[in-house]
Amino acid sequence: MAKASFSREERAGLIIAVLLHCALIAVLALQFAFKDTARDPAPRIAVSLATEVGLEATAPAPTAESRAAIAPRLADTSVAQSEAEPEPRDALSEARPRVVAEERPTPRAITREPDETRPQRRPDPRPSAAPRERREASGSLIGDDFLEGQGTSTRTDNTTAPAAKFGAREQAALSSAITRQLRPHWSAPQGVDVEKLVTIVAWDLSQDGTLKGRPRVVSQRGINAANRAQAQRHGELAIRAVQLAAPFNLPEAFYSRWQRLEWEFDRRL
Amino acid sequence: MKLLALSLSLLAVAAPFSAPLSAQDQDLGEPLAEGGSVESVTVEGEDTAGPLRGTVTDENDWRDLGIAIPAFATDRDRATAANASGTAALGLEVARVITANLRNNGIFKPTGPDSLPRPPFPQITAPSWGSWSGRGAEMLVHGYVQARDDGRLIVGCYLYDVALRDELVREGWVVRPADWRRAAHKCSDLIYARLTGEDPFFDSRIAYIAETGPKDKRVKQLAVMDSDGANHRFLTLGSATALTPRYSPDYSKLLYLSYVDGNPRIYVYDIGSGSQTLVTQNASPTLAPRWSPDGRHILYSMAVAGNTDIYRVPVTGGRSVRLTDTPGIDIGGSYSPDGSRIVFESDRSGSQQCYIMDADGSNQRRITFFGGRCATPEWSPRGDQIAFTRIAGDFNIAVMSPSGQNLRVLTDGWQDEAPTWAPNGRIIQFFRTTRDAGRSSLWQVDLTGRNERRLPTPVDASDPAWGPIRP
């Protein structure tokens, strides 16, 4: 007789062992659920392919901003899950003694039998823990109201990859490209107080970067009695620098922005 | 500002309404408000319509400008009185003089004719750009020397920008064969003025005191030379000590101080005739002569019973006018270029300081208040600066504005004194005495203080005086 071979103590010990195992499983499951909430999803990075100087947009219709991906509410239970999962759990709960089922703190059980669970457990793990836990199972978490997006903006509904229109950053890059090409050719005349002179030269460029017409001095400032003699030469050398720097090598896509240029020429040590 | 302009234009519109009060008496309606103008104002916003703007800054150290100066060409080699071997050899000499002129003021890096190929005559007006741009020179000087049938020389001078392949300036001169160096100076002036924006100064002369002999028995002679040290001549024999020469504005006369009768007296030396006259008949010693800018008056100082004051006398002779009357020493007056004011040196405050007064002696006021003393002031020919000897331990050359502001010390020798301006007011000449041997020599420094150089003289030299540019 197998029954007789178990002593009362043994039976009690066995029951306690089973109970304790169940408690251990429950504690581990709960711990796993908490850990998952703490993990944030990685921020999305929008990648746009650009040329070396980063002036030219690759997108055919560039947009400055693009909407961030939005999931207004994360789905509780995906359709696939609700069908597939309950089966084994139900079987389990039937197979287990009643006490075990009562102890189970899993959120699933709560949804099905709200009255059964302990009130103090409920508010905590519930709202976000539930969907996370299910991720391991096959099926999508993304709800029907999920909105696709590639940017970070929350103010626009545009969903194409953000690409440069001619913005402040592109203007700065273009300016420094022009300054870089002018600098080797620009040297101010020598003299007293020439550091105070500033010449503004304007010129027009053709699409291929060559000069259209002769550069002209728009204005000069900082002229005083000591450097008046150098002022004219200052302007002449500024024009010379532009002439020597031409043809300019600039991105053709932004020709409309660099066809007319106005640069200040000065000296500082 | 914009609001103001806007409200002003609104006022202009409103004005016709309020004007004719009497119009109501004449059964007239309101006049039409016409004639109000609409002003356009610049509005804030993204500036996409205008040109793209930016700034480029020259942050490099000063770079000397490379200039290639090959020998001047000639259409055919003819004999000339200027030298023994014809115009071709003279063309080489002219280029050498220009090279030496430009080398010596620190702004240019000239390459002379001895290390450059000689361009043929047709290339003077059409340089072969390719060969010159390969030599690293940014500027190119071409020129020619031709002998005319009447013996005179024609010298042409061209300045080209090699990088731009563009002619910057050209000029030609007809000179007597003996004046061929002046043509070279004129060409140097042309290049200097074109590339610096300053007025020319190479075609000018310098008077100075040549010093020879031992320290206790120094012989001081009056001497003159070109601005580059050529055409040197002694004007006095040295039996009497000569001091402080000054060229008249037209180079016809030279003022200087001589001990020829044992007392320091100011004489006017006529360069053309070689004769000299006393400025004023007086028993008292007279010192520190200066011309007025128009050359019609002479300023001098006279010591009467231990009290030195500044006087003015017409060149043609006549009564002297006393301009200062304070006790102590007032000396060394120098006119502003417009002749309206005089800067001078006085010890009325206890130490040597510089003062300014109007040309008639009124409105005297001290302008130097920085540490140290101020001596031998000279007003720049451009009027914007006053050069002086600053005595603060060592003697140094310094400049300041006519109001006494913006003091800048240009030299740091042991004893640099007696500044005199180049005709363009950009370079100052002075003499420097060495500490040990006590030898003195002429030096030049430009207004930035960066470019300093010694002027070669055959013997020791002091008291330089730079004449104006020659016509």
Query: Is B403 at the interface with chain A, CB within 8 A?
Result: no
Give me the total of CB pairs closer than 8 Å, taking one residue from chain A and one from chain B.
Answer: 102
Closest chain B C-alpha to A252 CA, distance in angstroms? 15
User: Which pLDDT belongs to residue A12?
Assistant: 94
Torsion of CA B256, B259, B264, B269, to 10 degrees: -20
CA A59 → CA A48, A99, A105, A173, B458, distances in Å?
8, 63, 52, 19, 79
Facing residue for B57 by CB, picked from A171, A175, A268: A268
Query: Is B437 at the interface with chain A, CB within 8 A?
Result: no
Give SS3 for B183: helix
User: Which pLDDT belongs to residue A69?
Assistant: 64
B197 contacts on A by Cβ (under 8 Å): 189, 191, 229-234
Q: Which residues of A189-227 are buried (b: 16+ CB within 10 A; e: fewer)?
A: bbbbbbeebbbbbbbebeeebebeeebebeebeebeebb
For chain A, the three-class secondary structure string (H helix, E strand, C coil) is: CHHHHCCHHHHHHHHHHHHHHHHHHHHHHHHHHHHHHHCCCCCCCCCCCECCCCCCECCCCCCCCCECCECCCCCCCCHHHHHHCHHHHHHHHHHCCHHHHHHCCCHHHHHHCCCCCCCCCCCCCHHHHHHHHHCCCCCCCCCCCCECCCCCECCCCCCCCCCCCCCHHHHHHHHHHHHHHHHHHCCCCCCCCHHHCEEEEEEEECCCCCEEEEEEEEEEECCCCCCHHHHHHHHHHHHHHHHHHCCCCCCHHHHHHHCEEEEEEEECC
Whether residue B54 and residue A263 make contact (CB cut-off 8 A), yes or no, is yes
Interface predicted TM-score (ipTM) of this complex, two decimals: 0.70
A199 contacts on B by Cβ (under 8 Å): none
User: Which pLDDT belongs to residue A242?
Assistant: 92
Q: Which residue has the tokens 């500490």?
A: B435
pLDDT digits (tens, 9 = 90+) for B236-264: 888 888 888 999 888 888 888 888 888 88
Query: Is A154 at the interface with chain B, CB within 8 A?
Result: no
Give SS3 for B169: strand
User: Which pLDDT belongs to residue B141?
Assistant: 94
Closest-CA residue in chain B for A186? Answer: B58
Per-residue pLDDT of chain A (269 residues; tens, 9 = 90+): 445 578 889 999 999 999 999 999 999 999 887 765 555 667 677 665 544 454 444 455 555 566 666 665 555 554 444 444 444 444 444 444 444 444 444 444 444 444 444 444 444 444 444 444 444 445 556 556 666 665 556 666 666 555 555 677 788 888 889 999 998 889 888 887 888 999 999 999 998 989 988 999 999 999 887 788 889 999 999 999 999 988 888 888 888 888 889 999 998 87
Question: Which helix or strand (DSSP H or E) is residue B160 part of?
Answer: strand B153-161
Facing residue for A226 by CB, picked from B54, B199, B384: B384
User: Which pLDDT belongs to residue B17?
Assistant: 45
A240 contacts on B by Cβ (under 8 Å): 161, 163-164
Query: Is B447 at the interface with chain A, CB within 8 A?
Result: yes
- Chain B 111-170, residues with CB within 8 Å of chain A CB atoms: 161, 163-164
B62 contacts on A by Cβ (under 8 Å): 190
CA-based Rg of chain A, rounded to a whole angstrom?
37
B60 contacts on A by Cβ (under 8 Å): 187
Query: Is B385 at the interface with chain A, CB within 8 A?
Result: yes
| CA torsion through residues A9, A12, A18, A20, sign | negative
Query: Is B350 at the interface with chain A, CB within 8 A?
Result: no
Facing residue for A233 by CB, picked from B197, B447, B448: B197
Q: CA-to-CA distance for A148 and A161, rounded, in angstroms? A: 11
The answer, yes or no, to whether the previous bond of A247 is cis (omega within 30 of 0) is yes
User: Which pLDDT belongs to residue B377?
Assistant: 94
Q: Which residues of chain B have pLDDT under 70?
A: 1-26, 31-36, 41-49
Closest chain A C-alpha to B59 CA, distance in angstroms? 5
Q: CA-to-CA distance for B244 and B356, rounded, in angstroms? A: 21
Closest-CA residue in chain A for B195? Answer: A233
- Cα A139 to chain center, whole Å? 26
Whether residue A269 and residue B53 make contact (CB cut-off 8 A), yes or no, is no
Q: CA-to-CA distance for B252 and B470, rounded, in angstroms? A: 11
Whether residue A263 and residue B56 make contact (CB cut-off 8 A), yes or no, is yes
Whether residue A241 and residue B198 make contact (CB cut-off 8 A), yes or no, is no
Closest chain A C-alpha to B125 CA, distance in angstroms? 21
Whether the CB-CB separation of B397 and B387 falls below 8 Å is answered with yes
Cα of first residue to Cα of last residue in chain A, in angstroms, is 106
Closest chain B C-alpha to A182 CA, distance in angstroms? 7
Looking at residue B455, its amino acid is L
Q: CA-to-CA distance for B221 and A144, rounded, in angstroms? A: 110
pLDDT digits (tens, 9 = 90+) for B372-420: 899 999 999 988 899 999 998 889 999 999 988 889 999 988 899 999 9
Q: CA-to-CA distance for B224 and B420, rounded, in angstroms? A: 15
User: Which pLDDT belongs to residue A215?
Assistant: 92
Facing residue for B196 by CB, picked from A183, A233, A261: A233
Query: Is A240 at the interface with chain B, CB within 8 A?
Result: yes
A178 contacts on B by Cβ (under 8 Å): 52, 54
Residue B130, phi-psi category: left (phi > 0), alpha (psi -120 to 50), beta (remainder):
alpha
Closest-CA residue in chain A for B383? Answer: A225
Smallest CA-to-CA distance from B420 within B430, B433, B410 is with B430
What tokens were used for A97?
Answer: 């003694």
Whether residue B60 and residue A187 make contact (CB cut-off 8 A), yes or no, is yes
